A and B are shown apart, each in its own frame.
Chain A
Amino acid sequence: MDDIFQAIQLTCAVKPLLANGIGVALGIIFGALPGLTAAMGVALLLPLTFNLPVAEAFSALLGMYCGAIYGGSITAILIGTPGTVAAAATMLEGPALTARGQSKKALDMATFASFFGGAFSCVALIVMAPMLARVATAFGPAEYFAVAIFGMTVVASLAAASPVKGMLSALLGCYCATMGGDPITGEVRNTYEMTELISGFTLVPVLVGLFAVAQIFVTVEDSLRGVTRDMTLRLSREGLKLRDFFRYKWNMLRSSIIGVIVGIIPATGGGSASYLAYSTAQRYSDTPEEFGKGTLEGIAATESANNASTGGTLIPLLTLGVPGDIVTAIMLGALMIQGLVPGPLLFQNEPQAVYSIFIAFIISNVLMLIIGLSAVRSLSNILRIPPTVLMPCVMTLCIIGAWAVNTSAFDLYTVVIFGVLGYLMHKVGMPAAPLLLSMILSPIAETNFRRAIIVSNGDYSVFFTSYISLGLLLVSAAVAAKTVWNEVQRRRHLAASQTEAS
């Protein structure tokens, strides 16, 4: 108990609070700018924390992490370009809400949902960390394969509207993911003799190109064609009322649970969590056909899931020394600088430091809520700028962001290629989300399938002998079947009502 009080004292002092606040503010900016990610922000802050005490250092780093994962939703909603991978799913609902003049409601929802997710994961972290940690190590190659397959079922629901094109999009994503070094044999494949492709496409430029740049092209085209969205008239003054917020409480709870669990599984993060939560919310919703046209329910799901995954990734980091995603891998370095060895002994040897980290995380979420709500009021004013001026500026931001990842010219080419590709896909009605999702998930699926076979020494039944793996595969099959069934039913209804009308 003593340790907890000490920890509270340490983290609530002026300097750590200030560090936390600056971290959150910077994090929101980083998250909002397309191309700048949470990982980059944390990596940049890391050297600055070398000489700071634990409470301050982690206040800053955790603030940056929470803020960045939340910040991505701001640009996703207002401008239609995702700031981070984690916010890509928010783009399925955000821009539609803005077009209806409900941008402020959407932003408020995103802020509250992010806070809910983050706070929920704090509770999970504090109460159940050691127990949940076992989940992280229970996942071997077969289980990872099953998880990836489960994630791919989300692709099925995203592609439901135009199945053939959706499948092509997903398959293209799978192919792009195979370009580069084979993770099992080390051979280089599908690189078309380009040395820059030896490690494949970097994900961030792909995201920036496919969603941000493509969206910029589309927006510019719309305004050139005279399809103005007349933003100035529709700047919504109406915020979200608390009553509306509570309507989605079960949704957010469910999504947060998904977020925490996906966060715990190492190598999966906010991006996958938000897509999974989104598609689950759609299945359980009373109005599934509203999804995709601008419903707050969707934003509640995606934003609470991706912030819940931040706490989730901290669990294996602190309890086992296993990073849950790239950001926590960098934080591992921060722990080492402080002389804290993460692992099973950390809780016993340094309880004060651990509690400081927990409390700093809670404070980060609270600050995120406060700063987010106040920032959001003024941010909607960005919509006042006519798109023909705003879009080129956002374009330059995208370029800087993509450059900042690796200072590599090839990354910029990636942005261009995927930008043009995304624009063309939009014109022919091919959904882009399946491409991104399969680019993230298919390497996990392929690599772990082959690893599982190596470990089991050629025994293919290993996917069915593990409970977790078998369970996930069955659920995936069920979900995929249901999605197909729903779509078939929908078309029958549509055809029936059309023949009735004619």
Chain B
Amino acid sequence: MHNKVHEILTGIAALVCGGFMWREASALPVWAPTGELGSGAFPKGVIILILVFGAVQLLQGICMRAPAAKAAAGKNHRMLLFVLWFLAYIGMFVGGAHLYSLLPYQPVENNLVFFLCTFIYLAGALIITGRRSKKEILLVSLGVPAVLVACFAFCFQIMLP
């Protein structure tokens, strides 16, 4: 599990994030005007520690003995697709909800956008993960949102866009 590249990247990421965090927190006062600890004390302390440990991590990574190269996993691009598709789902969901609320005439008050987005997402996700049976895909991507809408919208009365 200890992969040299990963260790170095983690160290670098920690240092870079620490830098951004410091920039944001630099305006916060460490001592409040009334003499007690201000709002900046704790965050600044945390950020300093992050930078320290990030440096340690980086050094550890550089000094590590590189193990034998692992066989590269083949289906990595599928995984990336899965992750991106998930992001797309969220985007569709939020964007769709917003656009829908701007329409002058809304046929169904709730639940429509959620149903559509979930249907599209599930169908796509199942295709990405390699399911082939068309019947199965349709069944799941229609059935699951239907059940969810039934439970949440009607039983629990939580508004879905």
A and B touching (Cβ–Cβ under 8 A): yes
Is B90 touching A396 in the complex (CB atoms < 8 A)? no
A404 to chain B: closest residue by CB: B158
**Which residues of A, 369-397, contact B by the 8 Å Cβ criterion?**
388-389, 391-393, 395-397
> Judging by beta carbons under 8 Å apart, are B86 and A416 in contact?
yes
- Measured CB to CB, the residues of A under 8 A from B are 44, 164-165, 167-168, 171-172, 174-175, 178, 182, 184-185, 187, 189-190, 192, 213, 217, 220-221, 223-225, 388-389, 391-393, 395-397, 399-400, 403-404, 407, 409, 412-413, 415-416, 419-420, 423, 427-430, 446, 449-450, 453-454, 458
19 chain-A/chain-B pairs, Cβ below 8 angstroms: A164-B56, A164-B57, A168-B10, A172-B50, A175-B47, A189-B39, A192-B24, A224-B75, A224-B78, A395-B89, A396-B121, A399-B93, A400-B152, A407-B158, A412-B93, A423-B83, A449-B37, A450-B36, A454-B36
**Closest residue on chain B to residue A213 by CB atoms:** B86
Cβ of B116: which chain A residues have Cβ within 8 Å of it?
Answer: none
Render B129-145 as a binary contact track against A, CB cut-off 8 A, 1 for contact.
11100001000100011
Question: From A423, which residue of chain B is reached at the shortest CB distance?
Answer: B83
Nearest B-chain residue to A187, judged by Cβ: B39
With A164-B60, A189-B40 known as contacts, the answer to whether A225 contacts B73 (CB < 8 A) is: yes
The answer on a CB contact under 8 Å between B14 and A168 is: yes
Chain B residues with CB under 8 A of A395: 86, 89, 121, 125
Please name all residues of chain B whose beta carbon is closer than 8 Å to the beta carbon of A393 when the two chains form the complex. 122, 140, 144
A164–B52 Cα distance when bound, in Å, is: 10
Contact of B10 among A165, A189, A413 (CB under 8 A): A165
Given A175-B43, A190-B24, 12 new contacts (CB under 8 A): A171-B53, A182-B39, A185-B38, A388-B126, A392-B121, A395-B86, A395-B121, A396-B122, A396-B144, A399-B89, A446-B42, A450-B36
B residues less than 8 Å from A182 (CB atoms): 39
Q: Which residues of B contact A392 (CB under 8 A)?
A: 121-122, 125-126, 129, 140
Distance, CA A292 to CA B61, complexed state (A):
25
Contact in complex: A413, B140 (CB < 8 Å) = no
Cα A427 to Cα B56 in complex, Å, equals 19
- Given the complex of chains A and B, what is the CA–CA distance between A399 and B157 in angstroms? 16
Task: Give the nearest-CB partner of A425 in chain B.
Answer: B10
Q: Does B32 contact A (CB under 8 A)?
A: yes
Contact A389 B131 (CB under 8 A): yes
Contact assessment for A409 and B94 in the assembled complex, using a CB-CB cutoff below 8 Å: yes
A189–B40 Cα distance when bound, in Å, is 8
What CA separation (Å) do A450 and B7 show in the bound complex?
36
B136 to chain A, nearest CB (A): 7
Bound Cα distance A330, B32 (Å): 35
B64 CB → nearest A CB, Å = 12
Q: How near does chain B come to A278, taking the closest CB pair, in angstroms?
A: 23
Q: Is A428 within 8 A of B90, CB to CB?
A: no
Interface SS of chain B: helix
Cβ–Cβ < 8 Å partners of A420 in chain B? 83
Q: Select from chain B the residue with minimum beta-carbon distance to A393.
A: B144
Minimum CB distance partner of A396 in chain B: B118
The answer to whether B6 and A407 touch across the interface, beta carbons within 8 angstroms, is no
Please give, as numbers and ranges, the residues of chain A lying within 8 Å of B60 by CB-CB distance: 164
- The residue in chain B whose Cβ has the minimal distance to the Cβ of A403 is B160
Interface: B79 (CB within 8 A) = yes
B-side contacts of A454, CB under 8 Å? 36
Q: Point out which of A220, A391, A420 has the most chain B C-beta atoms below 10 A from its C-beta.
A: A220
Q: If the complex has contacts A217-B83, A223-B129, A409-B94, are A168 and B50 also in contact, measured as CB distance less than 8 A?
A: yes
Write the nearest CB–CB distance from A384 to chain B, whole angstroms. Answer: 14
A184 vs B24: C-alpha distance when bound (angstroms): 19
Cβ–Cβ contact B159 & A389, under 8 A: no
Q: Tell me the smallest distance from the CB of A235 to a CB of chain B, in Å.
A: 21
Q: Which A residues touch B2, using CB under 8 A? A: 429
Q: Is the CB of B54 within 8 A of A168?
A: yes
CB neighbours of B25 from chain A (8 A):
189-190
Interface 0/1 of B112-125, CB less than 8 Å to A: 00100010011001
Closest chain B residue to A184 by CB distance?
B39
Q: Is B87 interfacial (CB 8 A cutoff)?
A: yes
Q: How many whole Å from A181's CB to the nearest CB in chain B? A: 9
Contacts of A399 in B (CB 8 A): 89-90, 93
Assuming the contacts A44-B156, A416-B87, asked whether A221 and B57 have C-beta atoms less than 8 A apart, the reply is no
Distance between A133 CB and nearest chain B CB, rounded to angstroms: 31
CA distance A78 to B144 in the complex (A): 19
